[in-house]
């Protein structure tokens, strides 16, 4: 009997190790028995991962996020500058985000299948190369549809691959709980966004001053940034860690939808449902801040007469760089608070605080007269802190120990899927309202979402508190058996 149970335990452990066929069982057992390597003397890595390879992986995350943030500013300058768009720029921006996110959903499935053949580092490298190619090509378009749309979709395919591989490579290299590795990836993401806002946004501004004729400055800056990214993508392929073993081909399309179905059913647990809701608004936070903030600032300078349609708006580039950069820096510093709150306090409290901070930034900023003022900078900082807080607390909510290990994949897939749906809905609706109602409408939508998260976190915490009190009362109440 003991032999059978030990055999079953061993079999279960092998099946939970996820992803590989029976050939690799002995190699995995060998890896688990070897001591972990350390990055910076305290971040534990799998024995097959060299610390320099981990640094290359973190740097790839940094590059990916820098490109994703930069494309938002470049897109606005191309709309108003090269294409001279004056009618419905918000609707165009929202539509491009909508179509890009739809393609990204398909791209995640395709990249997962490709990873079985070319490895995770191969997918990450190809993704960075595609994003770089999209940025280089952006300056040579002459219309929104189909040229701008096609290039935006190519970039989206690349960004979906890098986003998918961030999580996949983290699971590959992390040893133990993986919390420190996840934190490293989060910091690299924040630094990448900050670098794009404070440095990359200034490249087209400086080159436009050096080459004032036409759009040479914008074209050269996109060529420099895009080609550098393509070169880095190729170099990083040889530097990032290899997969520890060969993975068998899987029907990812069928498996993906089965995971979504299972994850939706698991949403009956209020805490999981709250985590899903946080993903819906947190991902939309990111897109609306990067796209509509730059769009609003550029529109403000055009209406003020400081810029004109058909030319590069240097004021908008400088203001957007300052607003986004300072906001990202402060938000990056606030990530530690939300990480600790999610770890040591009830997770619902962290979601509540993120909702309060985000609402206090989004709602007043939506009604701002001047989006470039110092007061607006304070509101944008609150928005960014609320965004980071919602991402961290929401991820912690769906990674709690109340979720069975076998359900982690389904919950993770559903969390990402609902986040993509949030981008599709809020970016499109926000873009239409930007044109037809007021420029701050996308941020007002986010503010309402943060208020809903505040209310939801209170309800979920109250439900859990009452349920736990009832369980304790039931255990504490003795039961008597009357013996006839």
Per-residue confidence (pLDDT) for residue 6, from 0 to 100 = 43
Residue 39 β-bridge partners: 43
Neighbouring residues of 379: CB distance < 8 A, sequence distance ≥ 6: 361, 362, 364, 365, 368
What residues contact residue 50 under an 8 Å CB cut-off, 6+ apart?
Answer: 37, 241
Assigned token pair, 441: 């409408």
In which residue are the tokens 């009997």 written? 1
HEC assignment per residue over 339-380: HHHHHHCCHHHHHHHHHHHHHHHHHHHHCCCCCCCHHHHHHH
Q: 147: exposed, middle or buried (C-beta count within 10 Å: 0-12, 13-18, 19+)?
A: middle
Specify the CATH number for 47-243; select among 1.20.1250.20, 3.40.50.2300, 3.40.50.300, 3.30.450.20. 1.20.1250.20
* Whether 45 contacts 176, CB under 8 Å: no
Look at residues 36, 89, 31 and name the one whose alpha carbon lies nearest to residue 294: 89
- Which DSSP state fits 174? B
Are 173 and 60 within 8 A, CB to CB?
A: no
Q: Provide the token pair at 459.
A: 């309800």
Domains 47-243 and 255-471 share a fold: yes
Residue 18: predicted pLDDT:
38
- Contact between residue 359 and residue 451 where contact means Cβ atoms under 8 Å apart: yes
Question: pLDDT per residue over 322-334, tens digit each?
Answer: 888 888 888 888 8
365-392 b/e (C-beta count within 10 Å ≥ 16 → b): bbebeebbeeebbbbbbbbbbbbbbbbb
Residue with tokens 């099946």: 15
**Hey, what are 399's tokens?**
């990674």
Q: Phi/psi of residue 418, each to 5°?
A: -70, -35
pLDDT of residue 414: 80
Residue 108 · residue 165 · CB < 8 Å: no
Q: What angle do CA 69, 73, 74 make, to 5 degrees?
A: 105
Please give the structure tokens belonging to residue 391.
């991402």
**pLDDT tens-place string over residues 69-96:** 898 778 888 888 888 887 888 888 888 8
pTM for this entry: 0.75
Tell me the two tokens of residue 235. 């170099």
For residue 399, what pLDDT is reported? Answer: 67
State how far the Cα of 311 lies from the Cα of 347, in Å rounded to an integer: 48
Q: Which residue has the tokens 């966004």?
A: 193
User: Where in the chain are the domains?
Assistant: 47-243, 255-471
Pairing verdict, β 37-39 and 43-45: antiparallel
pLDDT at 34: 63
CB 402: neighbour CB atoms within 10 A? 10
Closest by CA position to 388, among listed 274, 271, 285? 285
Domain 255-471 carries which CATH code?
Answer: 1.20.1250.20
pLDDT digits (tens, 9 = 90+) for 172-212: 777 765 556 766 777 788 888 889 888 888 888 888 888 87
CA 208 to chain centre: 31
Q: Which residue ranges of the chain lie beneath pLDDT 50?
A: 1-29, 31-32, 484
Q: Convert the pLDDT of each residue in 299-320 to its tens digit.
A: 899 888 888 887 778 888 888 8
Q: How far is CA 153 from CA 145, 263, 452, in A?
A: 12, 28, 32
Residue with tokens 């990480």: 339
Spell out the alpha helix ranges (H) of 174-269.
Answer: 179-195, 202-210, 216-239, 252-266
What is the torsion angle, in degrees rounded to the nearest 10, for the CA atoms of residue 203, residue 298, residue 386 and residue 282? -90
């Amino acid at each position: 009997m003991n032999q059978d149970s030990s055999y079953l335990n061993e079999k279960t452990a092998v099946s939970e190790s996820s992803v590989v066929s029976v050939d690799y069982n002995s190699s995995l057992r060998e890896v688990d028995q070897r001591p972990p390597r350390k990055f910076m003397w305290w971040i534990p890595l799998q024995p097959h991962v060299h610390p320099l390879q981990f640094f290359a992986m973190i740097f790839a995350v940094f590059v990916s996020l820098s490109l994703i943030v930069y494309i938002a500013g470049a897109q606005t300058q191309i709309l108003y500058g090269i294409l001279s768009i004056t009618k419905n720029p918000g609707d165009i921006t929202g539509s491009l985000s909508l179509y890009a996110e739809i393609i990204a959903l398909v791209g995640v499935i395709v990249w997962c299948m490709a990873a079985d053949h070319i490895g995770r580092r191969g997918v990450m490298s190809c993704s960075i190369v595609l994003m770089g190619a999209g940025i280089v090509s952006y300056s040579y378009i002459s219309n929104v549809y189909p040229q701008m749309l096609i290039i935006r979709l190519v970039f989206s395919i690349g960004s979906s691959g890098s986003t998918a591989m961030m999580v996949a490579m983290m699971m590959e290299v992390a040893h133990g709980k993986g919390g420190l590795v996840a934190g490293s990836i989060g910091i690299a993401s924040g630094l990448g966004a900050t670098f794009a806002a404070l440095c990359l946004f200034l490249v087209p501004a400086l080159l436009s001053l050096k080459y004032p004729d036409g759009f040479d400055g914008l074209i050269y800056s996109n060529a420099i940034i895009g080609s550098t990214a393509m070169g880095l993508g190729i170099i990083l392929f040889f530097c990032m860690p290899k997969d520890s073993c060969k993975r068998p081909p899987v029907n990812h399309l069928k498996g993906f939808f089965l995971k979504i179905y299972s994850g939706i059913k698991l949403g009956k647990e209020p805490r999981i449902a709250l985590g899903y809701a946080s993903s819906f608004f947190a991902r939309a936070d990111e897109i609306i801040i990067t796209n509509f903030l730059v769009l609003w600032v550029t529109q403000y300078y055009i209406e003020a007469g400081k810029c004109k349609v058909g030319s590069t708006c240097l004021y908008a580039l400088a203001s957007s760089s300052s607003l986004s950069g300072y906001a990202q820096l402060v938000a990056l510093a606030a990530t530690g608070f939300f990480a600790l709150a999610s770890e040591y306090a009830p997770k619902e409290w962290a979601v509540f605080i993120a909702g309060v901070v985000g609402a206090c930034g989004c709602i007043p900023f939506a009604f701002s007269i001047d989006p470039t003022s110092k007061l607006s900078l304070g509101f944008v900082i609150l928005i960014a802190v609320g965004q980071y807080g919602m991402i961290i607390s929401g991820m912690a909510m769906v990674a709690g120990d109340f979720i069975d290990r076998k359900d982690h994949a389904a919950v993770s897939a559903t969390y990402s899927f609902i986040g993509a749906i949030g981008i599709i809905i809020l970016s499109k609706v926000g873009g239409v309202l930007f044109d037809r109602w007021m420029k701050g409408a996308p941020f007002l939508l986010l503010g309402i979402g943060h208020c809903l998260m505040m209310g939801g976190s209170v309800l979920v915490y109250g439900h859990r508190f009452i349920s736990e009190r009832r369980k304790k009362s039931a255990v504490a109440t003795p039961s008597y058996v009357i013996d006839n």
